[in-house]
Amino acid sequence: DMPGFGAVASNGLIVRDGGRVLVVDTAWTDDQTAQILNWIKQEIN
C-alpha cells in the first residue's frame, strides 16, 4: 500500500538468455524477492 493512494500492483519480469538471468522489477519486500530468486535457482538454474 502507498499512503494516500492505496494498493499498487507489482509486476515482474524474468528474462533468461542462455546461462544468464535478469530479474526486472522485483517484489515489494526482501523476503518476497528471496523467494523469487530461490525459485529461479531451482527451476531455471
- The residue ranges of every structural domain in the chain are 1-45
Q: Is 27 within 8 Å of 10 (Cβ atoms)?
A: yes
Q: What is the pLDDT of residue 17?
A: 93
Look at 8 and 29; give whichever has higher pLDDT.
Answer: 29
pLDDT of residue 39: 93
pLDDT in tens, 12-40: 899 999 989 999 988 888 998 999 999 99
Task: Give the pLDDT confidence score for residue 38 in this predicted structure.
Answer: 95
DSSP string for residues in the chain: -BTTTB------EEEEETTEEEEES--SSHHHHHHHHHHHHHHT-
> Which cell numbers hold the place of 5?
493512494
Residue 6 has pLDDT above 80, yes or no: yes
In angstroms, the CA 24 to CA 32 distance is 14
Which three cell numbers, joined as nine digits, stand for 25?
A: 522489477
- Rounded to the nearest angstrom, the gap between the alpha carbon of residue 33 and the centroid of all alpha carbons in its chain is 5
